[in-house]
Amino acid sequence: MFLEPQETMPQTSVVFSSILGPSCSGQGQPGMGERGGGAGGSGDLIFQDGRLISGSLEALMEHLVPTVDYYPDRTYIFTFLLSSRVFIPPHDLLARVGQLCVEQRQQLEAGSEKAKLKSFSAKIVQLLKEWTEAFPFDFQDEKAMAELKAITHRVTQCDEENGTVKKAIAQMTQSLLLSLAARSQLQELREKLRSPAMDKGPVLKAKPPAAQKDILGVCCDPLVLAQQLTHIELERVSSIHPEDLMQIVSHTDSRDKHRCRGDMTKTYSLEAYDNWFNCLSMLVATEVCRVVKKKHRTRMLEFFIDVARECFNIGNFNSMMAIISGMNLSPVARLKKTWSKVKTAKFDVLEHHMDPSSNFCNYRTALQGATQRSQTANSSREKIVIPVFNLFVKDIYFLHKIHTNHLPNGHINFKKFWEISRQIHEFMTWTQVECPFEKDKKIQSYLLTAPIYSEEALFIASFESEGPENHMEKDSWKTLRTAYSNSDS
């Protein structure tokens, strides 16, 4: 059995260009209505079975701010802080939180209730602490940092006796500055990193030197290579933050007439991780197509099939899908004579898991099993869950597209954002798993820096290994030879 070649080279970046592109092409949503009645905005919050499902933006903001007798649920804090950026920039939200704090302070001061005032101040600091820990990047903005300083200055005014609130604020500020400094250093490092060079491929009819290193010369153990791929995956995915993922849904609300609030610099980590998938797919195809002898190509294919299977067993679905995609690229899939020698039973099982029918039902079942294993795990190895990132992004995007941001009454459809937040929170839990496998710098260096053939070079290498079989392939081969002959002259 051999694989039918695909018509085009699959590139997941197409999805990102449509989802994360700079244009503000969001679906038009009904505008937000005026605030309803009810003290404290309670009339503008709708609950169903004890769960908040909608509300005006103003009421949702008020629900975020503690009182003497109330502190918001931590799940609500995360969900609202995450989703609110679709409607209001973080520094404006922080300014509104500051206003609400001032109003409550004035009421407590008027009643000369110092004990309650201290209790309220401590709760405000706790809210700010949770905000700065969950979304430190919000405070890279000078306006947000100024608002934070203004709020903390106000709440310390009642803390002259023992200074507990001041100490808590000092600790929070120090942790925030350390987080921002670490992220700034990471951004500088990212700028220095470059994608692997796209090799022009072999000169026509010339064969690579016998001593030329390939992946099997660096690592011939499928399990070890799968572990090193998992290392790379976890390192790269750990640079993705919740607010980065919200860029997927940060489109323009046409009624509000505001600009897109999606800071495109925050999508860098998403695009870089997506690019890693494409590079891995192309590396797999390159390693197969560059091999001269059919026997060795067969061995290379079987090796990558075993690597993909080990990735599946680990829970590294993203690398697994990238490897399968690489083997399904047309220059590889058309090598019928090579595939005829491959024991494809294992590959058939892998393709079954990644069958796209019924919205990737088989993959989602496997992902659910890995998730359940992770939740009851006793070791880091069992906690690893690395989903197919492209499918995760699509799930968030389509969840956003099929549910409106606003309901007919003008309320924010908070039920939608509960679900988006739940999926993002689950993803972030997976990204925080520490890789249990020992890092092999030599293998990782090869995976990240080995030359990758362009699409044209892959076809040339493929045709050199197994000549064109039909008129279409013969025409392609002739065109490629002419193009490369002209480029070399």
DSSP labels, 294-351: HHHHHHHHHHHHHHHHHHHHHTBHHHHHHHHHHHHSHHHHT-HHHHTTS-THHHHHHH
Are residues 156 and 207 both part of a single domain?
no
CATH number at residue 211: 1.10.840.10
Are residues 292 and 341 both part of a single domain?
yes
Neighbours of 255 (CB within 10 A): 13
Asked whether residue 24 is domain-assigned, the answer is no
Are residues 275 and 410 both part of a single domain?
yes
Q: Which residues, including other chains, have CB under 8 Å from residue 236's CB and lie 6 or more apart?
A: 272, 273, 276
Do the beta carbons of residue 147 and residue 91 sit within 8 Å? yes
290: DSSP letter: T
Do the beta carbons of residue 173 and residue 128 sit within 8 Å? no
Neighbours of 133 (CB within 10 A): 12
Are residues 243 and 392 both part of a single domain?
yes
Tell me, what's the pLDDT at 111? 73
Distance CA 240, CA 225 (A): 24
Tell me, what's the pLDDT at 192? 55
Are residues 136 and 221 both part of a single domain?
no
Asked whether residue 16 is domain-assigned, the answer is no
Asked whether residue 85 is domain-assigned, the answer is yes
Closest to 40 (Cα-Cα) out of 26, 59, 13, 64: 59
pTM of the model: 0.83
Distance CA 66, CA 122 (A): 10
Are residues 170 and 228 both part of a single domain?
no
CA angle, residues 180, 181, 186, in degrees to nearest 5: 95
Asked whether residue 46 is domain-assigned, the answer is no
Distances 67 to 71, 73, 120, 206, 486 between C-alpha atoms, Å: 7, 13, 6, 76, 75
Residue that has been written with the tokens 């500055």 in this structure: 177
Are residues 464 and 349 both part of a single domain?
yes
Q: Which domain holds residue 296?
A: 200-251+267-486
H-assigned helices in 87-221: 90-110, 114-134, 142-155, 164-192, 215-218
Asked whether residue 195 is domain-assigned, the answer is no
- With residue 48 as reference, give the H or E element that holds it: strand 45-48
Q: 47 - beta bridge partners?
A: 52
Asked whether residue 441 is domain-assigned, the answer is yes
Asked whether residue 33 is domain-assigned, the answer is no
Are residues 378 and 350 both part of a single domain?
yes
- Could you say which of 187, 216, 236 is where a domain stops? 187
Tell me, what's the pLDDT at 109? 79
Are residues 221 and 146 both part of a single domain?
no
Q: Write out the chain's pLDDT in tens, 489 residues.
A: 444 444 343 444 444 444 444 433 333 333 323 323 333 334 689 999 989 999 999 999 999 999 999 999 999 999 999 999 999 999 999 999 999 998 988 888 777 777 888 888 889 999 999 999 999 999 988 999 999 999 998 887 765 655 788 889 999 999 999 988 887 776 666 555 544 445 544 433 344 454 568 999 999 999 999 999 999 999 999 889 999 998 887 743 333 444 444 454 557 788 889 899 999 999 999 999 999 899 999 999 999 999 999 999 999 999 999 999 999 999 999 999 999 999 989 999 999 999 999 999 999 999 999 999 999 998 889 999 999 999 999 999 999 999 999 999 999 999 999 999 999 999 999 999 999 999 999 999 999 989 899 899 899 999 999 999 888 988 888 888 887 766 655
Tell me, what's the pLDDT at 82? 96
Tell me, what's the pLDDT at 19? 44
Number of domains in the chain: 2
Do the beta carbons of residue 89 and residue 97 sit within 8 Å? no
Are residues 82 and 213 both part of a single domain?
no
